[in-house]
Structure 1
Amino acid sequence: MKENIVKSKSFTFAVKTVRIYQFLCEQRKEFILSKQLLRSGTSVGAMIRESEHAESRKDFIHKLAIAQKEINETIYWIDLLKETNYLSEEQYIIIYTDAIELIKLITSILKTTKNNG
Structure 2
Amino acid sequence: MTTDGMKVKTKKFSVMVINLAEKLPNFGSSEIIASQIIKSGTSVGADYRAVCRAKSDEELASKMEIVLEKTDETLFWIEIIAEKKWVSISELETIWKEGNELTAILVNSLKAVNNRISVMS
TM-score (norm 2): 0.87
| Residue 21 (structure 2) pairs with residue 21 (structure 1) | yes
Deviation at 1:78, TM superposition (A): 0.2
Contact 2:71 2:99 in 1 (8 A): yes
Question: How big is the alpha-carbon RMSD for the aligned residues of Structure 1 and Structure 2?
Answer: 1.3
Contact 1:6 1:105 in 2 (8 A): no
Q: Superposed, which structure 2 residues align to 1:62-73 within 5 Å?
A: 62-73=62-73
Where in structure 2 are there 5+ consecutive unaligned residues? none
Deviation at 1:23, TM superposition (A): 1.8
Report Cα offsets for 1:39-84 as digits up to 9, x if no partner: 1011011111101111221111111000001101111000000100
Q: Superposed, which structure 2 residues align to 1:1-117 within 5 Å?
A: 4-24=4-24, 28-29=25-26, 30-117=30-117
SS in 2 for 1:65: helix
Contact 1:47 1:66 in 2 (8 A): yes
Contact 2:21 2:38 in 1 (8 A): yes
Q: 2: distance between equivalents of 1:73 and 1:16?
A: 15
Q: How many pairs were matched up?
A: 113
Deviation at 1:3, TM superposition (A): 5.9
Identity within the alignment, %: 27
- Greater shift, 3-12 or 57-66, is seen at 3-12
Q: 2: distance between equivalents of 1:3 and 1:54?
A: 12
Q: 1: distance between equivalents of 2:113 and 2:3?
A: 18
